[in-house]
Structure 1
Amino acid sequence: MTDIMTSGSYGEVIEPATLKIERVLPGPIERVWDYLTKSDLRRQWLASGDMAKKAGSEFELTWRNDELTNPPGQRPEGFGEQHTAVCQLLEYDPPHILSYTFGKHGEVTFTLTPKGNEVLLTLVHRRMPDPGIMAMVGPGWHAHLDVLVAKMRGLKTVPFWDSWVKLKAEYAKRLPI
């Protein structure tokens, strides 16, 4: 297996308080959709939580980042073993568009576009309330998406927290924060 760390392109600010990140994943598109919407698959790369399929519905996401990779790496000071956020589903259009509030930290939209045997995942995180949120969310999405790519491609990941710490320093240089 090949190691993967910060393998994807970096997120970019596409308008104020808005970050966009893209990844290419192995298809079919329905498989990628399942990794976004099914709790048992989503918890492997992001957060667990059952998601309703109707716009306006609330649901909880629970992050347990220590469980994403083995070993997890050194958890930075200030982070607990888990974190939960209440989200609201904004758009649910299988298997192309998924959008929801990200707790109190803006809105996230995933768009899936078939590209032959692969799928282009475009993540746009909008309406981040302050630059400090972007400083955390940019490396967070990058590290989580790297885990998703590794899981879907059968690649070995490096410790999640080590990746996040390295990415946080890199995003601090790249983002207008």
Structure 2
Amino acid sequence: MDKYGKVGDDGTVSFRREFPNEVKEVWEYLIDPDKLGLWLASGEMTLQPGGKVKLIFQHRNLSSQEDPIPEKFKDKADGEVLEGEIIEMQQEQLLSFTWSGNSLVNFKLFRTKDLTQLYLTHTGLAKDRDTLIAVCAGWHTHLNILSDRLENMEPKGFWSVFNKLEAEYSDRLSLGIQL
């Protein structure tokens, strides 16, 4: 399975991941504030359509490894707050919410044979190259951390992984590889 994100012509970024964990366990990492804070951001969600979403991104807290923030993100060193609204939720199947009002994030889960499938789509993004590369590298990094957490492993520092993936996505785009 290709772990790289895909970019649609409309600026949609999508990922597919497989986990050996049960759907219920993966779902808990999407909705439980403590578990969500281990791989994405701390905060809170009112888990019903129209419910509020408040995510506080503190990337340095996603791993115990020392990991300096890149210069271009120094303005976010103290964190970044994202607010949105739950659009749709189906227990252990679908979570959809606005992302700072401009875009929409969807998580879909389902079980096949021995694996839980997670489909992530982020729609309504600006179609410029830098945005799409950063969003792909960001989600890819967060999903790697989720995978590590589900396997009870300590994840690598967010920024070191993000920087590597940002360069890889840039190279893939420069080589004409469809993102």
TM-score of the two chains, using structure 1 as the length reference: 0.89
- The within-5 A match list for 1:71-82 is 71-77=65-71, 78=73, 79-82=76-79
What corresponds to 1:125 in structure 2? 122
Gaps of 5+ in 2: none
Is the CA contact 1:105–1:133 (under 8 Å) kept in the aligned structure 2?
no
Q: Where does structure 1 differ by over 3 angstroms across 4 or more consecutive aligned residues?
A: none
User: Is 1:153 paired with 2:151?
Assistant: yes
What corresponds to 1:3 in structure 2? none
Q: Which string of whole-angstrom CA distances, capped at 9 and with x for unpartnered residues, describes residues 65-101 of structure 1? A: 1011121412112232311011111111011011111
Letter of the 1:36 partner, please give it.
L
User: Is 1:112 paired with 2:112?
Assistant: no
Is the CA contact 1:72–1:161 (under 8 Å) kept in the aligned structure 2?
no
Letter of the 1:140 partner, please give it.
G
Q: CA deviation at 1:102?
A: 1.1
What corresponds to 2:172 in structure 1? 174
Bigger mean CA offset, 59-68 vs 130-139: 130-139
Identity %: 28
Root mean square deviation of aligned Cα: 1.9
What corresponds to 1:16 in structure 2? 10
Matched length: 171
Is the CA contact 1:59–1:88 (under 8 Å) kept in the aligned structure 2?
yes
Secondary structure at the counterpart of residue 45 of structure 2: coil
User: Is 1:140 paired with 2:134?
Assistant: no
Provide the C-alpha distance between the structure 2 equivalents of 1:72 and 1:81, rounded to a whole number of angstroms: 15
TM-score of the two chains, using structure 2 as the length reference: 0.88
Q: CA deviation at 1:157?
A: 2.4
User: Is 1:88 paired with 2:85?
Assistant: yes
